[in-house]
Amino acid sequence: MVPEIVIHKALVQGIRSVREDSRVIDSMFQNLDQNTLQSLKDVVRKQKINISINYPRADALKLPMITLVLKNEAESHTFLGDIMGTSYNGEPESALTFTSASKGLASSLKGIPKPISSKLSVETYTYSELRNQTTITLHDPSGELLVLGQRSLGDNTLWVVGGTGAGEHYRVLSMSSNVLSLDGKFTATLDSSTKVELMPTSDAEAPIGEPSAVYSSKNINLVRKGANYDAQYQLSIITGNQDETLYLYSIIKSILFSQKSFMESQGIIALKISGTDFAPRSDFLPSEAFQRTMNLQFVYPFSFIEEQDAPSSISVGISAGTGDCGYVTFDVETGNLSSI
């Protein structure tokens, strides 16, 4: 898990949600007059906010800007032999199997459960801003969803596994035949190329992005190695206006709080936020720039998976004492016995 990817995703999601629903700005800045409040909304809605991972290049200094820089990190908690988990019994833990959401395969890091439906295409969808819900109609010529809807489905998630919007997923609130109500809004404009699947909602969200299908779900010789890390990142809000810096800092702080559940599901835990002011920066000359910095302290797991050597089969020779010898072979992967 790379923290920069998760924090960047959280900032992008949060800024998009504030632009779509600015009531959070009204509730945060109750002490501002209406003219100033409207100007602040215009800045957030209409002005591009540049996000830079690590120090920005000199030719990319565009204000307002948010920069994310690693201050320090250190190994926090170690495991016996640096082994975080193993699989022994022929049924690999879900945490030890990898997948690709875009290919609709089965599971990744905490991951994507096995699908309970085939790939279906999208006919129509609408979004209600008031309820933050999407209603989607799926093309289901076989009537598969009608059959599924007649039994208890439990808590499920709709995953986009191909075409436009691949990788996005939203929890199913209700289902009536091929019409589903989802919690949230798609960031992409879905079209006829979009393919979706219903999957059980996992205890923790699968990783963002498109993890590769690295190991077969039948592998029983996988070992996860790594450790937890204590990390401290510096998130700097830089603008050309003192008040704008102050207000944008508060908005980013509210975004990080609103995205805490998402970041925790991706591995950023025990997040603690602090902040400080910096003197105006001269490296943005001829224009003076103002900066307020937020310090993010958290713990995250750093790990990878190794495949250990293991026999594929075991053969045992049986002799009756007459010189004749028979063999019994045990297939480790399938558990089948065969004799020669």
Tens digits of per-residue pLDDT, 97-114?
Answer: 333 333 333 333 344 566
Query: What distance in Å separates the CA atoms of residue 330 and residue 265, rounded to the nearest whole number?
Result: 41
* Phi, psi dihedral angles at 316 (to 5 degrees): -120, 125
What is the H or E stretch that residue 2 is in? Answer: none
DSSP 3-state percent helix, strand, coil across the chain (nearest 5): 25, 40, 40
d(C-alpha 139, C-alpha 89), whole Å: 40
The pLDDT tens digits for 120-171 are 888 888 888 878 889 989 888 888 887 776 555 667 888 888 888 887 888 8
Q: Which of 260, 272, 222 is nearest to 109 (CA)?
A: 222
Contacts of 141 (CB under 8 A, 6+ apart): none
The closest of 149, 150, 167 to 158, measured between CA atoms, is 167
Match 């936020």 to its residue by tokens: 273
Where, residue-wise, is CATH 3.30.2000.30 in the chain? 3-77+224-307
List where CATH 2.40.30 sits in the chain.
98-200
User: Are β-strands 325-331 and 337-339 bridged in parallel, bridged antiparallel, or unpaired?
Assistant: antiparallel
Number of residues that this document lists for the chain = 340
- Give the CATH number of domain 3-77+224-307; options: 3.30.2000.30, 1.10.8.620, 1.10.1040.10, 3.40.50.300: 3.30.2000.30
Residue 189 scores a pLDDT above 50: yes
| Six-digit token string for 337 | 């016995």
Q: What is the pLDDT of residue 107?
A: 39
**Prediction pTM value:** 0.63
Provide the CATH number for the domain formed by 98-200 in this structure: 2.40.30
